[in-house]
Amino acid sequence: MIKKIKHIKSNLVQGKRLNVFVLFLFLSFLISLLSKLSNTYTQTLQFELQPTQLKSNEVLVSKDAKTINVTISGKGFALLKYYIETPTIDVDFSELNKNKAHYFWTERSQLEKIINHFDSKITVKSINPDTLLFPYDRQFIKKIPVEVLVNASFAVGFDLVNPFRAVPDSITLMGPESLVKTISSIKTKPLDLTDVNANIDRVVALDIPTTSDQLSYSEQTVSVRGEVEKFTEGSVNVPVTIVNVPDNLTLNFFPKEITVIFYASLKAYNSIDARDFSVECDFNTLTAENSYLNPVLVKQPTTVKTAALKGTEFEYVITPKND
């Protein structure tokens, strides 16, 4: 028991000695630091220029930070905060000279402001560079359409009623006029779909270039939508009309009708009629090299997805009209 107590006392004494040693070490470091901070130093620091008071209808073309190297002299205490914080200097653009393309920052015009930026105990020795150019442009807003990129395959008997569309179908683009005017549309990221047999409504990201950090987009994503239904094939016999026949000629042809094969949704199928189609042959296409009347489908209902003519040969006889 006595040995145990002696062991505890020994540990306490050693612990106190260690604490005293650490305390003296810390005080020694603190005194050394205070001594060094009391000395005068000359250092070159890099300051980032922060634009302010830029006109609302103007925008800087480049978002890359503009910096200056400022050599300053002062006590360590006064310089310490510039090592702790990121050094920045505000620039009032309403006070800068400019032309049609650039604002001009010069040391001569901004020297007083830079000196006033520092504590009175700090001396500004030099500033480099002495001139900086800030390219700018007119702020421009433009509405551009969204182009949908979809690779879709459909289940047997199903198809798209109308083309895929984006919601919203357009977005607002804002940025430097010289850049915005070069952009006429924006695409979505590709959307791959397989065995589609139901309506589509998917959120898809816009394909925004990574290099367009100077531009602002009103949307980052859009909804890609498409109406899908069951489809079938049908046919109707449509009368053929001959156009541009000279007044002094008569043209008789056979057959008088042609079959039109169409592809439509089941919902629209029963409403489709032969009168919804129109097929013409143009007399003016007849030449010495071409003696055939070629029928052309000139009208079809909007409810039909595709349509084609079955058979394209006509027998005809041309005779002069009797006065």
| Domain map (residue ranges) of the chain | 40-129, 138-226, 232-320
| Alpha carbon distances (Å) from 221 to 128, 167, 212 | 44, 9, 16
Alpha-carbon torsion (60, 65, 71, 72), positive or negative: positive
Residue 117 pLDDT greater than 60, yes or no: yes
Average pLDDT value for residue range 7-28: 52
Largest CA distance in the chain: 150
Residue 13 pLDDT greater than 90, yes or no: no
Those residues whose C-beta lies under 8 Å from the C-beta of residue 321, and which sit 6 or more positions away, are: 247, 248, 249, 250
pLDDT in tens, 287-323: 767 778 889 999 999 999 999 999 777 778 888 877 5
40-129 matches 232-320 in fold: yes
What confidence tier does 163 reach under pLDDT thresholds 50, 70, 90? very high
Taking alpha carbons only, the member of 154, 316, 120 closest to residue 226 is 154
> How high is the mean pLDDT of the chain?
83
- Topology (CATH) of 138-226: RNA Polymerase Alpha Subunit; Chain A, domain 2 (2.170.120)
CATH code for residues 232-320: 2.170.120.30
Lowest mean pLDDT among 57-66, 73-82, 167-176, 253-262: 73-82
| Alpha carbon distances (Å) from 81 to 37, 76, 118, 245, 260 | 12, 9, 11, 94, 84
CB 224 within 8 A of CB 204: yes
Dist CA 264 CA 301 (whole Å): 10
Average pLDDT value for residue range 161-188: 92
CB 107 within 8 A of CB 131: yes
- pTM of the predicted structure, to 2 decimals: 0.66
pLDDT of 29 reads 47
CB 229 within 8 A of CB 212: no
| CB-count exposure of residue 296 (10 Å: 0-12, 13-18, 19+) | middle
Using DSSP, state whether 313 is helix, strand or coil.
coil
pLDDT in tens, 60-86: 887 778 888 888 777 766 666 666 666
Question: What percent of the chain is predicted at pLDDT more than 90?
Answer: 39
- Amino acid at residue number 110: Q
Those residues whose C-beta lies under 8 Å from the C-beta of residue 58, and which sit 6 or more positions away, are: 136, 137, 138, 139
pLDDT in tens, 26-53: 555 445 444 454 557 677 888 888 888 9
37 phi and psi angles, rounded to 5 deg: -70, -15
pLDDT of 35 reads 47
Cis peptide before 163 (omega within 30 of 0): no
CATH code for residues 40-129: 2.170.120
CB 265 within 8 A of CB 229: yes
